[in-house]
Amino acid sequence: MKFVLFMAEQDHFARWDASSQRDRDEVFAAFEAFGEAVAQRGSVVGGEGLLAPDQARTLSPVTREVTEGPYAETAEQVGGFFVIDVPDLDAAVELGGLLPPQFTVEVRPALEVEP
């Protein structure tokens, strides 16, 4: 079963820019441990770090008018995501707990669509 794990942190991009190399190395070590743990239970289907919200464009419903920035103005910023394929929600939540602790992690089941 596939799950998307969204990682968000208050003022993520400013915090990342201000972080030390040691702090960044700890984050990357946590990502590596997460990847290894997922591989033991299933697989990482994909994932990416994201650029800052000011690089986003939002398309409004119906009119598809384009505005600059993210959909919602919030203090927490999504900095990246993983898509994993593991047996169940409990496993996905457990594995999400291995991601760097400064992130709030939302674990959401992906919609299974028949080809």
Query: What was the pLDDT predicted at 73?
Result: 63
For the entire predicted model, the pTM comes to 0.86
pLDDT tens, 55-90? 888 888 888 888 887 666 666 788 999 999 999 999
Euclidean distance between CA atoms 91 and 25, whole angstroms: 26
**Exposure on the CB side of residue 48, measured as CA atoms within 13 A:** 3
Q: Which domains does the chain have, with CATH numbers?
A: 2-109 (3.30.70.1060)
Q: What Å distances lie between residue 102 and 30, 56, 86, 98, 108, CA to CA?
A: 11, 23, 24, 11, 19
Position 74 scores a pLDDT of: 65
pLDDT in tens, 16-46: 999 999 999 999 999 999 999 999 999 999 9
3-7, 13-17, 92-96, range with the lowest pLDDT: 13-17
Q: What is the pLDDT of residue 72?
A: 61
C-alpha triplet 22, 25, 29: angle, nearest 5°: 140
| Phi (first) and psi of residue 53, to 5 degrees | -55, -25
